[in-house]
Structure 1
């Protein structure tokens, strides 16, 4: 074979590859242009995260379940129950009309505020790990701060949309959303719950950002947030030790540095393909709380870099699809809710992965739908249901669902056809009554007097 024939074959194979890539791009673009593409993507992302989370919780918790109980499936069984409860809330968030969810947001806010107060009352709230942030009902625990995040996102978006014509004025932009959020911050800091405070702050920042607040306001919020984190860090010895371990790594390898170091060792041991599902040694007491806060480290150890890339890709896809839903909707409340909920979930995942890879101090924030945790899984599934409901309200989706029917999935889930967006009617300005004319007016305007023209 001559050099000319070899170069011709290479050119032909390269052209074929370019042609296949072009065909794939055209097919993907056509599929993304379908009316319900965002809805199907949200369902796929949610399903993959749930399945991956259950598999990894089973792998991570089997050892601690055997140590605490006779069965290796104790923690996994609780996680399955929480997922089933969360799927019911997912269905409710998907099926209930968004206008009813918006109408119920003030009541949800007041209920969440009441729960944040009651959890601080001795005898009602339960203290776990020096934090009074739980209601316990037998073996089941419930954190009201998770409900408060959803309530603030829904209610805050409602208030900001109602006042969108005057948001250029600070008093309308900040009141009443920021005072209510500060009240929530105060109640959560009294527990004290650093992770809940940070994620609630993400929700508030998301609301103000998508409402169009000026950048100088976020600088003030950042300073206030750093001050609050500093107060919470100094208020407890274990949080202060975590912060000092992050600022001065290696100073306490057997104490505060132990958990972050073991997470890095687990990620390094995994390599490209991992040691195999269920084969990670870090769960044998080398890495504490591996099924809760540090499950991403076990994913890297057992599934390798490819498993970590899968998790990162799913949350990156969630960010893209959530913003796609927000930009394709015309209802301003749906746009703000979809964007804020997306920022909350993706930021929470970024914080969790950030402290696992030692880029952030350890805060105890869970990895959404993957970490073991009842309230977090249930509320996150509710959020995914609301996002899927928002996806069904895209104008193209509304037209397709109302003209072609709900489809196989819609009939199975008994989903009603979404209502098209109706912009609020503009109020007509009140007619200014005519000012009664006096004798002075008649002298100035003689033509309007009873005497006729002069």
Structure 2
């Protein structure tokens, strides 16, 4: 029996619902609104210089936010069969989009990698859809295979092969960080799903060895991945971005320079409006502003875990945990990169970073959690146990 499911038997997921989780909805809206403000603050000068319109990125992000809110509302209202019965359709969609980036003229190359699809004015990053598809597939798999989940051939090998196929397509782009994200999702969901620890340990070791080989095989990649250990040693090359991020965070002090008054966004800090927007927040809103972000993310994780815990249906419980996992991993990896705890890699901050794909998928995950919260069994209603 899985660690996530051992505390309760299979159920229908219906019953005495608590209604939409107001706390989760409020936090998602607050973070999204703050992200809109910080995108304007971090892009005004750049947009005016390159596009002669200081609101260029702000207006685009506002459109992404409106679309994302529509997607969130639909995900919260639509029948959950869309997530529970069509996992393989989602998987096929994700694999097809990843393949299109490699073999079709729709693929957009940037920074030496082809990670985007362009359809007219719309840019889509298939990686974000792949995270959702993988979660839905794993939720379906672990809920159906509980009796054999601790076997190698039936309970362990299929999800590893499916995830591996998606990772191969990502590495072909190349997107090393994206492949690592999918492997982390697989590891976490397999752990709570009941997979034997020896299988997880062996697979993690093999994945680590493969990652080390990829890093060691490229001198530039090796320097870039280990620059975070001492970024000031090569502050004008591979350590430049992290050094500028640390300058921004250090310059903010307790209360920050003031909204809009940051200096690192003035063409010093690369990707200030995307992957390193947290550094801009630290410089302009200070330790207090960053702390508020951390608290909001903490509340989001608390409410997401609570929704997963209160699901009666096994598959619904896995889906809730997986959607929360997408948001949690994105936030923690982005924070770790900005603070220099892990090697720099393109990981957007959910809700805050500029970018349509990340924002829409983050709000979609919230929508699914809100959908599931409507049928969560209230505490004290006679359910036995709690999620471990």
TM-score, with structure 2 as normaliser: 0.89
Deviations for 1:190-222, whole angstroms, at most 9, x for unmatched residues? 111122112212221122022112222332232
SS in 2 for 1:88: helix
Stretches of structure 1 lacking an aligned partner (at least 5 in a row): 1-33, 400-454
Give 1:354 shift: 0.7
Q: Which residue of 1 aligns with 2:254?
A: 272
Give 1:48 shift: 0.9
Give 1:234 shift: 4.8
SS in 1 for 2:231: coil
SS in 1 for 2:53: coil
Give 1:346 shift: 1.1
Say which of 27, 43, 47 aligns to 2:25: 43
Write out aligned runs for 1:141-220 (5 A). 141-220=123-202
- Structure 2 Cα separation of the partners of residues 52 and 174 of structure 1: 41
Q: Does 1:317 align with 2:299?
A: yes
Q: Does 1:260 align with 2:242?
A: yes
Write out aligned runs for 1:349-364 (5 A). 349-364=331-346
Deviations for 1:104-155, whole angstroms, at most 9, x for unmatched residues? 2211111111111121115231211111111112343111111111011012
- Structure 2 Cα separation of the partners of residues 235 and 107 of structure 1: 36
Q: Which residue of 2 aligns with 1:411?
A: none
Q: Which residue of 1 aligns with 2:5?
A: none
- Structure 1 Cα separation of the partners of residues 213 and 60 of structure 2: 34
- Structure 1 Cα separation of the partners of residues 163 and 86 of structure 2: 18
Conserved? CA contact 2:106–2:119, under 8 Å: no
Conserved? CA contact 2:20–2:371, under 8 Å: no
- Structure 2 Cα separation of the partners of residues 147 and 387 of structure 1: 17
| Higher alpha-carbon Rg | 1
Give 1:37 shift: 7.4
Q: Does 1:286 align with 2:263?
A: no
Write out aligned runs for 1:408-447 (5 A). none
Say which of 234, 242, 250 aligns to 2:224: 242
Say which of 87, 91, 95 aligns to 2:69: 87
Stretch moving more, 343-352 or 243-252: 243-252
Say which of 100, 107, 111 aligns to 1:118: 100
SS in 1 for 2:114: strand
Q: Does 1:69 align with 2:69?
A: no
Say which of 88, 93, 99 aligns to 1:106: 88
Give 1:90 shift: 0.7
Conserved? CA contact 2:231–2:242, under 8 Å: no
Conserved? CA contact 1:277–1:303, under 8 Å: yes
- Structure 2 Cα separation of the partners of residues 202 and 87 of structure 1: 27
- Structure 2 Cα separation of the partners of residues 372 and 233 of structure 1: 28
Deviations for 1:7-49, whole angstroms, at most 9, x for unmatched residues? xxxxxxxxxxxxxxxxxxxxxxxxxxx9637711110111111
Q: Does 1:384 align with 2:366?
A: yes
Give 1:235 shift: 6.1
Structure 1 runs of 4+ aligned residues shifted over 6 Å read none
CA RMSD after TM alignment: 2.0
Conserved? CA contact 2:44–2:55, under 8 Å: yes
SS in 2 for 1:170: coil
Q: Which residue of 2 aligns with 1:419?
A: none
Stretches of structure 2 lacking an aligned partner (at least 5 in a row): 1-15, 382-388
Conserved? CA contact 1:143–1:375, under 8 Å: yes
Q: Does 1:346 align with 2:328?
A: yes
- Structure 2 Cα separation of the partners of residues 37 and 302 of structure 1: 37
Write out aligned runs for 1:5-44 (5 A). 36=18, 39-44=21-26
Q: Which residue of 2 aligns with 1:410?
A: none
Say which of 211, 222, 232 aligns to 2:204: 222
Say which of 394, 412, 419 aligns to 2:376: 394
Which structure has the highest helix share of the two? 1
Q: Which residue of 1 aligns with 2:118?
A: 136
Stretch moving more, 172-181 or 127-136: 172-181
Q: Which residue of 1 aligns with 2:278?
A: 296
Say which of 51, 56, 67 aligns to 2:38: 56
Structure number with greater CO (CA < 8 Å, separation at least 6) is 2
Give 1:230 shift: 3.1
When the two structures are aligned, how many residues end up with a matched partner?
Answer: 365
- Structure 2 Cα separation of the partners of residues 321 and 392 of structure 1: 13
- Structure 2 Cα separation of the partners of residues 78 and 231 of structure 1: 39
TM-score, with structure 1 as normaliser: 0.77
